[in-house]
Structures are given as C-alpha cells and as structure tokens.
C-alpha cells in the first residue's frame, strides 16, 4: 500500500569494466521500456534499491494492519465489520505479494522479517499515528489509501517486472479501500453533529501526515534521480503530492469538512491547490522513532512473531512426520 | 527465528476453465497442503481462480537469461521470418488464405 521515498542507494556507479558494458545494455533496455526480470543482469545498486523499497513497502502493509485491526471488534455494524476484516486481510495479502516480489531479487523472506523486527528496515511512518475513533478508519481509507494509490499507480509501470505485477494486483484491490473509507466519512458527515465533529477531528489529525506520505520535497530528495533513470520511480514526490491534494480538496468540500490548513488556497493561474508549509520536523521525528505509536507497533509485531514461533516449528515438524510416514507406507494417501 | 525456514512455493492460477494456469507469485508453507491453503487465502480473495497449482520453487527448471541469445534468439521473427504467414505474398485475387 505505502511506499515512502526516504533514501536510495548512492553507489550507482559501475565498478568493474565489464560491469560498465552490462550497465550500458541494462540502461538501454530500461530506456526502451523493456521489463527487467529476476535472473537478468542488473546493477547491484538497482537490486539493492529495489529490495529496500519493496521490502519497506511490504513491511508497511503488514504494520498497517495494526491501526485498522484496532477497530475490527468495535465496528459499528456487521456490514462495516465485514468490510474492515476484508480490508485488513487485503493488507496482509499485499504484504505477501510484495515479499514475494522482493524474494525474486535474492533476499530471503526471513532476512526481511529480521530487518523489520530489529528495526533495521523502515515502514511508512503514517502507521505510527493512533486510531482513537471510528472516524479514523474512514480517514485512513480515504486519505492514507488515497495517497497510497497516487503513489502506486505509476509503480504498476516500474521497470522491475515482479514489482510491477504485484503493484497491478494491489492497485486493483486498493480502490475498494479508498471508497469504503470515503463512504464511512460520508455517513459520519451527514449524521449527528457529534458524528460530523468526529469526522472533522479525524481529518484534522490525518491530513498533514497523509500529505507527508509522499516524502520530502524534490529539492531535498537527492537520490530520486537514479530511481527515475532506472524507471523505478516515474513522478517526483512533489508532483504526486500535488495530484493528491488537487483530488482530495474537492472531496473534503463535498463532505462539508474543512481541510486543517488556514493557508490553503486555489491558484487560479496554475489551477492547483496550494498548501501552507509542511512540518518536516514532525515527519523526521516520526520516521526516526518518536511518533505516537512507534514503540507500540514494533512491540506488537515482535510479540506476534515470537508467539508464533512454536506454530512455525510445529508445522515443520508435522510436515516432516508426514514425509517419514509416507516413505514408510507409500501406498497410504497423504 | 526458526532454524529451518518454510520452503518457497510458486503459485499458478487458472482464472476460468478453458484458460491455462498462469504464474501469479510465490509463498512460503510448511507442506503442500498448507501451500494450497495459503495460495487460496493470498491470491484468490476475489474469485480469481477456478483452479490452483502450487509447485515447490526448487522443482522449477528455468532457462538462463544469459543463454537467451543462443537458446531462444534464433527462433525470433527477425531471424526466421519465413516461419510466419506474413512472409509469403499471396495476391488479393486468391482470396483469404
């Protein structure tokens, strides 16, 4: 669901002379819009950048289940509960599609799990914000998934085949997420004054973190060029952010809710909405671990992993026992 | 982390009868039965399949992309155009052929 452009590899320069020849062919292939497939030659930095980006994206899907999972037992109706269950299940699925794509680059799943659990790998910091009310579920679907879709649609054309294919699967499913979120916001906005206030409060809390999801401004995002050259990334952070803002402001108006930005104004010349300054100190604080829920999210993930260890071992022991039995009595059906 | 990891399986789906199975991704499972169950949960939440195949990844024998020039390129259209119907000029008067 969510990539966050933070850092990319600097070591894009080929080292050995034969690498330069391969690198030239590789770039020509990418320039011609041909896809790169798992066993093809690729620059080490391309591989590393992809593993980092795809696994970070996968981790985000997995951690992203927590803030929404928080409301499954308390969803206001059976219909809402079914939708939320389906959505959280999708997030797990998206995480797995992405781990599967990253594994084609030669990084084992266990290694990626380990990097998440030890804190070496990051996930999107949007999930370090809490979900204290039901309206947060609406706001996450509408804004967070909406921002994610803006980011992800261009990734369907990413130069790396398995990543692009995973993104196509994900984007197909993501649209339901955003629409169900917006529907929750519509219901609350047309409800009692208390319900409308709850929707407004959720928008107030999720607006800025959502527009920060696109990552730092282009002028501060120094490694984007390499990713653009490799066609991993197709639009800059600021371009995508602008598209999201332009799409979302009228949606808020339709709900009768107010975007929490007194400086927000429509530029009649450029036909774009312009926001006030983004608080990047907050962004970096949350990225570096000091958000409202960083510790809680990691603690839940670690305990789920540790508590599941005996299950993983038991399943393997069972598989081994079945194999032994079949060897002893091959006529017996498994 | 467990000492032994769950093996990797490749997943293939047949969206409808009449079509062939197509690769969609991979997953980890402790055995074949779990691989099938997980494939259902991960890859078919919206009725994407009439049939699922799971295959241990290590059972797949793949061609090496580095060999493509010698192994596969000789059969491409540029090299052997005469294997394609459009190579042959048939006058319009002959009609559809």
**ipTM (interface predicted TM):** 0.86
Q: Is the pLDDT of residue A63 over 70?
A: yes
Q: Which of A37, A62, A103 would best serve as a mutation to test chain B binding (most B beta carbons within 10 A)?
A: A103
The secondary element (H helix, E strand) that includes residue B24 is: strand B22-28
Q: Would the pLDDT of A2 be above 50?
A: no
Mean pLDDT across A117-127: 94
Is A312 within 8 Å of B30 when comparing Cβ atoms? Answer: yes
User: How confident is the model over A29-49, as a mean pLDDT?
Assistant: 94
Of A10-14, A63-67, A240-244, A277-281, minimum mean pLDDT range: A10-14
Mean pLDDT of A68-84: 96
Backbone angles phi, psi at A128, to 5 degrees: -90, 10
Give one word for A119, left, alpha or beta, with left for phi > 0 and alpha for psi -120 to 50. Answer: left
Q: Nearest Cβ partner of A37 from B2, B5, B65? A: B65
Contact B30 A316 (CB under 8 A): yes
Residues 72-101 of A with CB under 8 A from B: 86, 89-90, 92-93, 96-97, 100-101
Q: A277 — phi, psi (to 5°)? A: -65, 145
Query: Pairing mode, if any, of strands B51-56 and B8-14?
Result: antiparallel
Q: pTM (2 decimals)?
A: 0.90
3-state secondary structure of A227: helix
| pLDDT (mean) for A88-107 | 96
- A236 vs A189: CA distance, rounded Å: 33
pLDDT at A13 over 60: no
Buried b (16+ CB within 10 A) or exposed e, A311-320: ebeebbeebe
Residues 6+ apart with CB under 8 A from A59: A95, A112, A116, A121, A122, A123
At what angle are helices B32-43 and A78-103 packed, to 10 degrees? 120
Residue A39 CB coordination number (10 Å): 13
Q: What is the mean pLDDT of chain B?
A: 91
Residue of A nearest to B31 (CA): A319
pLDDT at B70: 87
In sequence order, the β-bridge partners of residue B11 are: B25, B54
Residue A223 pLDDT: 62
Between A221 and B70, where is the model more confident? B70
Q: What is the DSSP letter of B92?
A: G
pLDDT at B77: 84
- Helix (H) / strand (E) containing B68: helix B68-71
H or E segment and range at residue B12: strand B8-14
Q: Which of B26, B34, B40, B68 to mutate to test the interface with A (most CBs of A within 10 A)?
A: B26
């Amino acid at each position: 669901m969510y990539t966050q452009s933070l850092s990319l590899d600097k070591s894009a320069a080929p080292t050995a002379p034969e690498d330069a020849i391969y690198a030239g062919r590789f770039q020509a292939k990418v320039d011609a819009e041909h896809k790169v497939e798992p066993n093809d030659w690729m620059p080490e930095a391309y591989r590393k950048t992809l593993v980092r980006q795809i696994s970070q994206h996968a981790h985000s899907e997995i951690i992203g289940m927590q803030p929404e999972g928080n409301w499954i037992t308390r969803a206001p109706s059976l219909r809402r509960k079914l939708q939320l269950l389906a959505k959280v299940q999708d997030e797990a699925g998206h995480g797995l599609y992405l781990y599967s794509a990253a594994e084609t680059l030669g990084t084992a799943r266990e290694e990626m799990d380990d990097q998440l659990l030890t804190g070496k790998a990051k996930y999107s910091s949007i999930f370090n914000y809490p979900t204290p009310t039901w309206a947060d579920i609406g706001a996450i679907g509408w804004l967070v998934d909406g921002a994610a879709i803006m980011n992800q649609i261009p990734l369907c054309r990413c130069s790396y085949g398995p990543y692009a294919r995973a993104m196509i699967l994900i984007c197909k499913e993501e649209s339901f997420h955003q629409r169900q979120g917006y529907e929750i916001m519509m219901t609350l906005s047309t409800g009692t004054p208390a319900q409308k206030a709850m929707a407004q409060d959720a928008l107030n809390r999720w607006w800025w973190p959502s527009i920060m999801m696109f990552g730092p401004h282009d002028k501060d995002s120094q490694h984007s060029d390499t990713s653009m050259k490799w066609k991993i990334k197709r639009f800059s952070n600021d371009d995508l952010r602008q598209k999201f803002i332009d799409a979302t402001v009228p949606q808020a108006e339709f709900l009768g809710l107010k975007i929490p930005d007194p400086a927000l104004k429509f530029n009649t010349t450029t036909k774009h909405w312009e926001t006030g300054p983004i608080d990047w100190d907050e962004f970096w604080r949350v990225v570096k671990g000091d958000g409202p829920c960083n510790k809680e999210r990691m603690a839940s993930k670690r305990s789920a992993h540790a508590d599941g260890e005996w299950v993983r071992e038991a399943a393997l022991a069972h598989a081994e026992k079945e194999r032994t039995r079949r060897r002893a009595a091959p006529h017996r059906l498994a | 982390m467990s000492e032994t990891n769950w093996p990797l399986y490749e997943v293939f789906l047949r969206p409808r009868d009449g079509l062939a199975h197509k690769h969609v991704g991979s997953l980890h499972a402790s055995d074949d039965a779990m691989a099938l169950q997980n494939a259902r949960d991960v890859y078919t939440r919206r009725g994407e399949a009439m049939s699922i195949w799971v295959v241990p990844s290590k059972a797949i024998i793949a061609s090496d992309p580095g060999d493509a020039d010698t192994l596969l390129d000789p059969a491409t259209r540029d090299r052997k155009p005469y294997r394609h119907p459009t190579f042959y000029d048939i006058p319009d008067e002959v009609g559809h052929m």
